[in-house]
Amino acid sequence: MLTPDAVIAVIGSGTMGAGIAQVAASAGHAVWLYDIQPGAAKRAIDGIDTALSARVAKGKLDDASRQSTLARLHPAETLADLAQAELAIEAAAEQIDIKQAIFRDLAAVCGADTVFASNTSSISITAIASGISHPARVVGLHFFNPAPVMKLVEVVSGLETSPEIAERLCELALRWGKQPVRCHSTPGFIVNRVARPFYAEAWRALEEQVAPAAAIDAALRDGAGFPMGPLALTDLIGQDVNFAVTCSVFNAFWQERRFLPSLTQQELVLGKRLGKKTGQGVYRWPLEAKPEYQPQMSEEFAAKQVTQSGKTLELDGIVVAITSGMTATAMSAELKRPVVLRDRLAESALEVLAPSASVTPQQLAKVTHYFQRQGKQVLVINDYPGMLAWRTVAMLANEALDALQKGVAGEADIDTAMQLGVNYPQGPLAWGARLGWQNVLTLLENLQRHYGEERYRPTSLLRQRALLENQHEH
């Protein structure tokens, strides 16, 4: 079953369907592409030809490979043309009734052992399989856009999915040059669920006017190593698409507050400011927004006395510490000293600072000068608990632990999915361990105390890991 010469059917010839068909045909399979719109499958195959020809022109593919891949692609006139398929991959609209109808119709023409895979990104595999004969053969095979380029494939098991079939699809994905991760059917699977805080915390910072959009994005991109800031990324994805996924996950989790959609993002969607595709979203496109770094401070602001204990600095009586989820003002009231907090996860060329209300412009200039002397660019934001990068990564790690605790996927698969699916610099579980589970827990507890909201509630697995970490240290 599902040998290298198995016949593959792809239903739906949009961007994802065409991309999946290209991947299967490039791997040596005969592929039948079907679309409900007459002529759409043929146009999609022409589009694949254009994409492959561009690769030939760049010297990334030889013309013989292009021709043999195209020879394996066939447009199907009717669903009956797919009768020989050993694997049928559905990439139609994200509506459960459409997906169920496709598989019901396929079940009538294909053999009982044809594997039915859905490329859904948000619909329950259990629900899709529920109306179909032999539901054990229904599985999620979630590719990421663009399918020919992105390595990750989420192999999703519903309640009825045969473990053997899921295993065979993982082997197939590997043969196709993809990296499969196994998970159970749950809203958002791995990537679309665990990634929610990356966007949510940025929207919240924007709503609370902590800093301009370009500064929020710079803190996460240049300060934490994400390939792109979250707000620019939502503009690139499309505000309507990103908002719809957030709403879908929020509602699927019975309005769990961690997934609360943003009113600011909703306003952009209502105003048709959808991002790059409309020329205006959070930003105007083409994107030219730059954060306002602190100007270069002169030597007159050099601190006379500098002491360091652990990660805390003291510059002429000003306490400079890494955020632990308290505001700088709350910490200043506790210590009865001026406080400047740092949003520092690792070595980076950017230093993000938040001063307490008691810090004077001269004192802030001293701290700025100190970091500029070390060759850093300095970005100052308003006093904000947990700041930007630390708070986002803590929430990502907490969400990943929640998925792990609930058996959605294994630890290695969660981290692999986030690195390959959304290009995070580290998997959130490895990242949390490196930052220290106790540090992550303290930050979230301080956020929960500050806001009085369950949004920042630490998972019980986080508490357990922090306890174990403390025991190992003593």
State the helix-helix crossing angle for 239-252 and 230-237, rounded to 10 degrees: 100
Half-sphere exposure of 365 (CA within 13 A, CB side): 11
Nearest alpha carbon to residue 282 among 231, 237, 246, 317? 231
pLDDT at 209 (0 to 100): 98
Identify residue 395 by its one-letter amino acid code: M
Q: Is the pLDDT of residue 341 over 80?
A: yes
Interval 285-339: pLDDT, tens: 999 889 999 999 999 999 999 999 999 999 999 999 999 999 999 999 999 999 9
For the chain, give the mean pLDDT: 96
Q: Is the pLDDT of residue 1 over 90?
A: no
Torsion angle of C-alpha atoms 67, 68, 69, 72, degrees rounded to 10:
120
Pick the CATH number of 299-380 from 3.30.70.141, 3.40.1110.10, 3.30.750.190, 3.20.20.70: 3.30.750.190
Q: Is the pLDDT of residue 8 over 80?
A: yes
pLDDT at 426 (0 to 100): 97
Q: Which residues contact 191 (CB under 8 A, 6 or more apart)?
A: 144, 152, 154, 417, 418, 421, 422
* Mean pLDDT on 125-144: 96
Task: Give the residue numbers marked as catalytic.
Answer: 121, 142, 154, 192
User: Do 123 and 192 form a contact (C-beta atoms < 8 A)?
Assistant: no
* Mean pLDDT on 123-128: 95
Interval 456-469: pLDDT, tens: 999 999 999 999 99
User: Do 377 and 351 form a contact (C-beta atoms < 8 A)?
Assistant: yes
φ/ψ region of 184 (left if φ > 0, alpha if ψ in -120 to 50, else beta) reads: beta
* Mean pLDDT on 154-172: 97
* Mean pLDDT on 248-265: 96
439 versus 121: which is more confidently predicted? 439
pLDDT at 402 (0 to 100): 98
pLDDT at 292 (0 to 100): 96
Q: Which two tokens stand for residue 353?
A: 């600072």
For the whole model, what pTM was predicted?
Answer: 0.96
| 122: confidence class by pLDDT, cuts 50, 70, 90 | confident
Q: List every span in the chain annotated with CATH 1.10.1040.50.
A: 190-278, 388-471
pLDDT at 473 (0 to 100): 82
pLDDT at 78 (0 to 100): 95
Interval 345-393: pLDDT, tens: 999 999 999 999 999 999 999 999 999 999 999 999 999 999 999 999 9
CATH topology of domain 8-184: Rossmann fold (3.40.50)
What is the dotted CATH code of the domain comprising 190-278? 1.10.1040.50
Q: How many residues does the chain have?
A: 474
CATH 1.10.10.10 for domain 388-471: no
Strands ordered across the beta sheet of 8-11: 73-76, 31-34, 8-11, 87-90, 115-118, 138-143, 152-157, 179-184
Interval 179-234: pLDDT, tens: 999 999 999 999 999 999 999 999 999 999 999 999 999 999 999 999 999 999 99
Q: List every span in the chain annotated with CATH 3.30.750.190.
A: 299-380
pLDDT at 329 (0 to 100): 98
- The distance between the two most distant Cα atoms of the chain, rounded to a whole number of Å, is 82
* Mean pLDDT on 240-245: 94
* Mean pLDDT on 420-425: 96
Nearest alpha carbon to residue 91 among 182, 29, 23? 23
Q: Is the pLDDT of residue 472 over 90?
A: no
User: Do 376 and 408 form a contact (C-beta atoms < 8 A)?
Assistant: no
Interval 42-94: pLDDT, tens: 999 999 999 999 999 999 999 999 999 999 999 999 999 999 999 999 999 98
The number of beta carbons lying within 10 Å of the beta carbon of residue 146 is: 14
Identify residue 245 by its one-letter amino acid code: V
